[in-house]
Structure 1
């Protein structure tokens, strides 16, 4: 198994918002593209990608609720790893 650090550090709430929203938007767009590719190639959408997109949209909404309630100068610690098995 391999482990890679994607994010590790302390950020202001404003910086954390920018970093996390960028990652979430990238993943949402990735699943949009996957579903579109499936529709073009196979004639139907990719249900797995659509389900994951909905989960990510919910995560984004919950994250925005929480981060918006914080002082933009507050410190947020973010740790994200990539684990390959």
Structure 2
């Protein structure tokens, strides 16, 4: 099994920068899952439960991150963000 790792996000960000970067990633993921669910519904006239659940998880994550960023902003802090992606060929 081949495994590859890439740094997706790494650095210290102001709250505005962090919000822009993180919301872009999460919104992209939510849009992907919504499009996937819509496509599946159109093709097969059925809902995809795991996709709906993932959208709910991502929406909750987005709300949590927004709250964290707002708290950091109130305290005048920056955010150190690190995000890696691992890809395995199976």
After TM superposition, the score normalised by the length of structure 1 is: 0.92
- Find the partner of 2:60 among 58, 62, 66: 58
Query: Unaligned 5+ residue runs, structure 2?
Result: none
1:1-85 map, 5 Å: 1-71=3-73, 74-85=77-88
Shift of 1:74: 2.4
- CA RMSD across the alignment: 1.3
After TM superposition, the score normalised by the length of structure 2 is: 0.88
The runs of at least 4 aligned residues of structure 1 exceeding 3 Å deviation read none
Query: Unaligned 5+ residue runs, structure 1?
Result: none
Distance (Å, rounded) in 2 between the aligned partners of 1:33 and 1:3: 27
